[in-house]
Amino acid sequence: MKPNIGIINSMVRITAGLSMLTLLTIRANKTNEVHPMLVVLASMKVAEGIVRYCPLTAAFEEMSEETDGIEQGWQQNLNKFSS
């Protein structure tokens, strides 16, 4: 697993994740309720920043990669169907 995000991006993810976790902790102390999925998402942001790997970025890069070496735009695909 090689890093697919940069240093600045990873620092932003760590900062945002820790900020989200802090706000969720404050909210949990005040109202005694917090959604566990929000804690998981905030923790994922911190982990992505630490390891410098984002699975969504990797999936997007894999989908947008050319495999045959021929660059085709979306208009070329539409022309096939309109004939």
Concatenating the DSSP letter of every residue in 21-66 gives HHHHHHHHHHHS---HHHHHHHHHHHHHHHHT--HHHHHHHHHT--
At 71 the pLDDT is: 63
Q: In this structure, is residue 37 part of a structural domain? A: yes
Q: In this structure, is residue 64 part of a structural domain? A: no
Whether residue 54 contacts residue 48, with contact meaning beta carbons closer than 8 Å, is answered with yes
Q: In this structure, is residue 17 part of a structural domain? A: yes
- Domain housing 8: 1-50
Q: 53: pLDDT confidence band, cut at 50, 70 and 90?
A: very high
Q: In this structure, is residue 23 part of a structural domain? A: yes
The percent of residues above 70 in pLDDT, for the chain, comes to 78
Q: Is the pLDDT of residue 82 over 70?
A: no
At 10 the pLDDT is: 95
Q: In this structure, is residue 59 part of a structural domain? A: no
Q: In this structure, is residue 63 part of a structural domain? A: no
Nearest to 48 by CA among 21, 17, 22: 17
Residues 6+ apart with CB under 8 A from 21: 39, 42, 43, 46
How many domains are contained in the chain?
A: 1
Q: In this structure, is residue 30 part of a structural domain? A: yes
Q: In this structure, is residue 10 part of a structural domain? A: yes
In the three-class reduction of DSSP (H, G, I as helix; E, B as strand; rest coil), residue 15 is classed as helix
pLDDT in tens, 17-51: 999 999 999 999 999 888 899 999 999 999 999 99
Q: Is the pLDDT higher at 59 or at 65?
A: 59
